[in-house]
Amino acid sequence: MRALVVDDSSTMRSILRLTLRGAGFEVLEASNGVEALDRLDKSGTVDLVLVDWNMPEMNGYEFLCAARANHAYDRTMIVMVTTETEIVQVKVALEHGANEYIMKPFTKDAVIEKLELMGLLPQRV
């Protein structure tokens, strides 16, 4: 399984990278939506994208819309990982193709639980 972590914070990318690697993912990284689209185009199949909402150049919502407009990424799971907690923004993201939404701050277990619910990891007993 391959994942792409998109966040302008190198600390947040590191936290998510360690969590995903611990769960068995190969992890790619990007610091904004433009870089993320480029990584997707050049990297082949990516099963999961964890993307922050607030970033320079292209934010997570704009990335989400661009990725969902490209049918090559129809099977890619996209999770918004953000401090944006307004229910309206959660709804907008889900309506535009996000598969899940994780609010910051989060725990490693919260990320793993979302991946299990999405069928990307086996359910823990």
* Kind and range of the H or E run holding 4: strand 2-6
- Domains, in order of start, for the chain: 2-115 (3.40.50.2300)
Q: Output the pLDDT for position 24.
A: 95
Walk along the chain (125 residues) in steps of 10 and give the mean pLDDT of each run: 96 96 96 96 92 93 96 94 82 93 92 94 75
* Omega prior to 105 cis, within 30 of 0: yes
Cross-strand partners of 104: none
